[in-house]
């Protein structure tokens, strides 16, 4: 991806020096995946309602960071500002809604959000209650090393997917779907999958605009597609349990995730991201 290190985004909250409880580390991700699949629930997204419990005490310390990590902070800052500039322009045109910026929270090990307490094993997530995206930068090493999806546009896809959830919040989609899911029933998992696939499609819409702005390098699209496929439910289930259980999917199969990202990338239109009505 073509980008120039420069100013840090005003929408970044750097909490890497804040200690909250005791995190289990990035290596625990697959354990959490197994639990998610065994119990048929999505433990990777904190509850969207704050429990009201007292938050764990937080201790702040100076941020210790390597030059490599600081370069990654510069990159996610660039992607954040680029994506939000894109949505500020196209959301009123295509969705009839005004865009307001989300915040990006960088943390290590554990974090407290308006959706509750989360550890690194949660993976990147969006909290609609405070309209913030939460990311432990160590996830990107995991994405490359363990899930076989390296590259800067693979990282950009992850951020664009989470911002896709923010777009869903602004359009009222997220609230409607969460309400339907909370009523329970057999459709809950299907609604979760549709919500996640739409966020993939919205990430593709951002990719389409990035290509129009000449920000993409050769191979970037393939990196994005590889990242989308890498975190498909079927692939993760196969890795962790040796079998695939479609009825427990919460995010969609590798083929579905890649296909919806590709659809959004090809058209650049929100109208082509109706995962609830087709596909």
Give 36-76 pLDDT, tens digit per residue. Answer: 433 333 434 554 444 433 344 455 566 778 888 999 999 99
* Environment class of 138 (CB within 10 Å of its CB; exposed 0-12, middle 13-18, buried 19+): middle
Tokens of 162: 């989470």
> Using CA atoms, how far apart are residues 147 and 183, in angstroms rounded to an integer?
34
Contact between 162 and 83 under an 8 Å Cβ cutoff? The reply is: no
Residue 22 binned pLDDT confidence (cut-offs 50, 70, 90): very low
Q: What is the pLDDT of residue 29?
A: 43
Domain containing residue 52: 12-269
Residue 4 binned pLDDT confidence (cut-offs 50, 70, 90): confident
| pLDDT(186) > 80 | no
SS3 readout for the chain: CCCCCCCCCCCEEECCCEEECCCCCHHHHHHHHHHHHHHCCCCCCCCCCCCCCCCCCEEECCCCCCHHHHHHHHHHHHHHHHHHHHHHHHHHHHHCCCCCCCEEEECCCEEEECCEEEEHHHCCEEECCCCEEEECCHHHHHHHHCCCCCCHHHHHHHHHHHHHHHHHHHHCHHHHHHHHHHCCCCHHHHHHHHHHHHHHHHHHHHHHHHHHCCCCCCCHHHHHHHHHHHCCHHHHHHHHHCCCCHHHCCCCCHHHHHHHHHHHHHHCCHHHHCCCCCC
Q: Is residue 2 part of a domain?
A: no
Upper half-sphere CA count for residue 162 (Cβ side, 13 Å): 26
Residue scoring higher pLDDT (99 or 7): 99
Residue 34 binned pLDDT confidence (cut-offs 50, 70, 90): very low
Q: Is residue 112 part of a domain?
A: yes
Whole-prediction pTM:
0.85
Q: Is residue 6 part of a domain?
A: no
| pLDDT(93) > 90 | yes
Q: What is the pLDDT of residue 227?
A: 94
Q: Is residue 25 part of a domain?
A: yes
Q: Is residue 161 part of a domain?
A: yes
Q: What is the pLDDT of residue 60?
A: 59
Average pLDDT over residues 87-116: 96
Q: What is the pLDDT of residue 59?
A: 56
Average pLDDT over residues 204-233: 95
Q: What is the pLDDT of residue 25?
A: 42
Nearest to 90 by CA among 78, 101, 102, 99: 99
Residue 27 binned pLDDT confidence (cut-offs 50, 70, 90): very low
Q: Is residue 278 part of a domain?
A: no
> Using CA atoms, how far apart are residues 25 and 44, in angstroms rounded to an integer?
14
Give 109-163 pLDDT, tens digit per residue. Answer: 999 999 999 888 888 999 999 999 999 999 999 899 888 999 999 999 999 999 9
Highest-pLDDT range among 30-34, 95-99, 115-119? 95-99
In this structure, how many other beta carbons lie within 10 angstroms of the beta carbon of residue 22? 10
| pLDDT(168) > 90 | yes
> Using CA atoms, how far apart are residues 177 and 102, in angstroms rounded to an integer?
20
Torsions phi, psi for 41 (to 5 deg): -125, 160
> Using CA atoms, how far apart are residues 237 and 247, in angstroms rounded to an integer?
12
- How far is C-alpha 58 from the chain's CA centre? 25
Residue 103 binned pLDDT confidence (cut-offs 50, 70, 90): very high
Q: What is the pLDDT of residue 21?
A: 57
Upper half-sphere CA count for residue 209 (Cβ side, 13 Å): 20
> Using CA atoms, how far apart are residues 139 and 122, in angstroms rounded to an integer?
10
Q: Is residue 252 part of a domain?
A: yes
Give 219-267 pLDDT, tens digit per residue. Answer: 999 999 999 999 898 988 888 889 898 888 889 999 999 999 999 999 9
Q: Is residue 7 part of a domain?
A: no
Q: What is the pLDDT of residue 278?
A: 56
| pLDDT(16) > 80 | yes
How many structural domains does the chain have? 1
């Amino acid at each position: 991806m073509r980008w120039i290190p420069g100013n840090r985004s005003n929408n970044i909250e750097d909490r890497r020096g804040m200690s909250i409880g005791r995190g289990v580390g990035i290596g625990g991700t697959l354990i959490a995946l197994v639990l998610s699949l065994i119990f048929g629930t999505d433990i990777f997204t904190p509850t969207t309602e704050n429990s009201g419990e007292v938050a764990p005490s937080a201790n702040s310390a100076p941020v210790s960071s390597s030059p490599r990590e600081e370069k990654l902070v510069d990159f996610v800052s660039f992607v954040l500002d680029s994506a939000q500039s894109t949505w500020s322009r196209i959301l009123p045109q295509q969705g009839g809604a005004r865009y307001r910026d989300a915040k990006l929270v960088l943390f290590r090990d554990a974090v407290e959000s308006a959706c509750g307490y989360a550890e690194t094993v949660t993976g990147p997530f969006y909290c609609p209650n405070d309209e913030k995206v939460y990311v432990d930068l160590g996830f990107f090493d995991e994405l490359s090393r363990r899930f076989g999806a390296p590259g800067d546009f693979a990282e950009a896809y992850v951020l664009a997917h989470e911002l896709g959830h923010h777009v869903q919040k602004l359009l009222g989609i997220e609230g409607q779907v969460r309400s339907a899911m909370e009523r329970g029933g057999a459709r809950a998992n299907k609604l979760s999958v549709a919500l996640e696939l739409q966020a993939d499609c919205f990430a593709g819409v951002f990719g389409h605009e990035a290509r129009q702005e000449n920000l993409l390098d050769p191979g970037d699209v393939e990196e994005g597609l590889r990242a989308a496929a890498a975190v498909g439910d079927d692939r993760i289930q196969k890795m962790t349990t040796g079998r695939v259980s479609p009825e427990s999917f919460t995010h969609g199969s590798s083929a579905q995730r890649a296909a919806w990202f590709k659809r959004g990338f090809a058209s650049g239109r929100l109208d082509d991201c109706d995962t609830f009505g087709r596909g």
